[in-house]
Amino acid sequence: MASDRTTERDLTPNPPISELSYDDRSLENRDTGNGFSLPPTDGGKDAWLFLFACFILEALIWGFPASYGVFQEFYSTNKPFEGSPNIAVVGACAMGIMYLTQPPMFAILKRFPKMRLWATPAGLIVMCLALGLGSLSNSIPQLIVTQGIFYALGGTLAWTPILFFIEEWWVRRRGFAYGVMMAGFGISGAVLPLILQWLLHSYGFRTTLRVCALAFVALNFPILFFFKPRLPLAQTSQARGFDMSFWGCSNYLILQSANLVQSLGYFLPGIYLPTFARALGASNLGSVATVILLNGAAAAGCLCMGAAVDRYHVTTCLSVAALGSTLGVFLLWGFSTSLPPLYIFSLVYGAFAGCTSTAWSAIIRDTKEKRPGVDSGMVFACLAAGKGVGNVCSGPLSEALLHAGNWKAGMAYGSGYGPLIVFTGTTALLGGWGSAAKRMGWL
């Protein structure tokens, strides 16, 4: 998961308060100075209910655009969008914009702390309106604006407060908390495609989008009662100015570069595995099963990665993830000529490649050791933006790879997907290069 640090902090899941950063020690303080005590961090009813709320928000806000492949297949084969160009742009806008807009949204909420309290409900309202308006669309440009751009902007507004509040509720076991939260993305990605496919083929896209909008209201708004800051607003409103010095930190730059390169190929299996499965003779359900297995395994991988980064050095964890996903791509997908090996690949790739974002909490921790004044949330937001760059670029790159021509090779390498498979495996391997950088003394 290269060599581990041997310091007590890395080998101990719950480091003593003396080893926490100044900001973390302040969050451990249970006395507000106003005559009442704060609820405990890293446990207790309030902390667990908050983490449950984060899990649900992550599952629905990110799970819906992650399941866009089901919509793409339906739109491309049914009126009024059948034969229209740029159908894939809808999903690319929804996912890519949510990643890329996290730094500016974090900056806004950092500058205006009172906005954090209503940003999530306001964002959820925007998302519901976007889906409702999307159900009235008669052209792809209208879907791009509604289901793509407006949904993404609402999603960013709704999700970003998590970066502020989770730092207050989870201090010692922050990696674990991020792992639980991000597991929601994987679980929803395993369940939503089945529900959406049934709705689309039974009732059409207009009813499906309206049902999704109502489901967002029914599932998200009740849990907002538990989604609240731990610290009084009077304390959090006294925020310091931005410290962007982490952009000059070798630790951050090296791991951010690995994150970006890995992201260039990370999204490709989720996009093309259903089509590849159909070429092997899979049914509608059999082709969707590849995405279900991929996302379900990612949920388990996030939980494991979240626990691992609280104990081991982040480069060790990322190198294991890189090795596992690389071997899966080259040995399982590359040699697949039937569905069983492809399903095994979906599980392996999902478990190893789908958990890398959970390691961001450890990247933040190590960056703060070298740049104590940086804001953890902004580091996370910039790492997300790096993944967003990979998401946006992977679309045109994959199109170019698919048109690179067939290779004179056996198995899946000669199926027309050869260049795509090799590119995915190579970027997965380079995603773990931080371990080599550590050995060379660059970290």
Torsion of CA 329, 333, 335, 338, to 10 degrees: 160
Domain boundary pick from 180, 204, 239: 239
Q: Kindly tell me if the per-residue pLDDT of 48 is higher than 60.
A: yes
pLDDT in tens, 325-337: 999 999 999 999 9
Q: Kindly tell me if the per-residue pLDDT of 42 is higher than 90.
A: no
Helix, strand, or coil here: 183? helix
Q: Mean pLDDT score of the chain, rounded to an integer?
A: 85
Sign of CA dihedral 94, 271, 141, 135: negative
192 with 255, same domain: the answer is no
Helix, strand, or coil here: 31? strand
What pLDDT is recorded for position 143? Answer: 93
128 with 187, same domain: the answer is yes
54 with 161, same domain: the answer is yes
> Domain for residue 27, yes or no?
no
57 with 160, same domain: the answer is yes
Residue at token pair 């899990």: 55
Q: Kindly tell me if the per-residue pLDDT of 254 is higher than 90.
A: yes
Q: Which spans in 135-267 are helix H?
A: 140-143, 151-159, 161-169, 174-220, 233-236, 250-266
- Considering only CA atoms, which of 222, 224, 202, 200 is closest in space to residue 212? 200
Residue 265, judged by CB atoms within 10 A of its CB (0-12, 13-18, 19+), counts as buried
More confident site: 173 or 104: 104
282 with 405, same domain: the answer is yes
270 with 295, same domain: the answer is yes
What pLDDT is recorded for position 260? Answer: 93
Q: What are the backbone angles phi and psi of residue 416, rounded to the nearest 5°?
A: 100, -15
222 with 328, same domain: the answer is no
Q: Kindly tell me if the per-residue pLDDT of 147 is higher than 50.
A: yes
> Domain for residue 11, yes or no?
no
225 with 256, same domain: the answer is no
Helices and strands per DSSP (H, E), number in the chain: 21, 0
Domain boundary pick from 207, 239, 271: 239
Buried b (16+ CB within 10 A) or exposed e, 16-40: eeeebbebbeebeeeeeeeeeebee
Instruction: Give the Cα separation of 286 and 292 in Å (integer).
Output: 10
> Domain for residue 380, yes or no?
yes
Q: Which two tokens mark 290?
A: 């590849």
Q: Say which residues have a Cβ less than 8 Å from residue 318's Cβ, sequence separation at least 6.
A: 1, 255, 258, 356, 359, 431, 432, 434, 435
Q: Say which residues have a Cβ less than 8 Å from residue 297's Cβ, sequence separation at least 6.
A: 186, 346, 347, 348, 349, 350, 351, 354
198 with 265, same domain: the answer is no
> Domain for residue 286, yes or no?
yes
Q: Kindly tell me if the per-residue pLDDT of 4 is higher than 60.
A: no
Range of the domain at 58: 42-239
234 with 280, same domain: the answer is no
CATH number of 434's domain: 1.20.1250.20
Q: Are 119 and 150 in contact (CB under 8 A)?
A: no
Q: Are 193 and 73 in contact (CB under 8 A)?
A: no
- Count of residues for the chain? 443
Residue 240, judged by CB atoms within 10 A of its CB (0-12, 13-18, 19+), counts as exposed
> Domain for residue 324, yes or no?
yes
What is the tally of structural domains in the chain?
2
What pLDDT is recorded for position 189? Answer: 83
CA distances from 74 to 15, 328, 341 (A): 51, 30, 27
Q: Which residues sit opposite 37 in a β-bridge?
A: 31
125 with 260, same domain: the answer is no
> Domain for residue 8, yes or no?
no
Domain boundary pick from 205, 221, 239: 239
Other C-beta atoms within 10 Å of 383: how many?
26
> Domain for residue 10, yes or no?
no
pLDDT in tens, 64-90: 988 887 888 788 888 898 888 888 788
Q: Kindly tell me if the per-residue pLDDT of 292 is higher than 60.
A: yes
What pLDDT is recorded for position 68? Answer: 85
100 with 202, same domain: the answer is yes
What pLDDT is recorded for position 392? Answer: 82
> Domain for residue 427, yes or no?
yes
Q: Say which residues have a Cβ less than 8 Å from residue 131's Cβ, sequence separation at least 6.
A: 146, 147, 151, 209, 210, 212, 213, 216
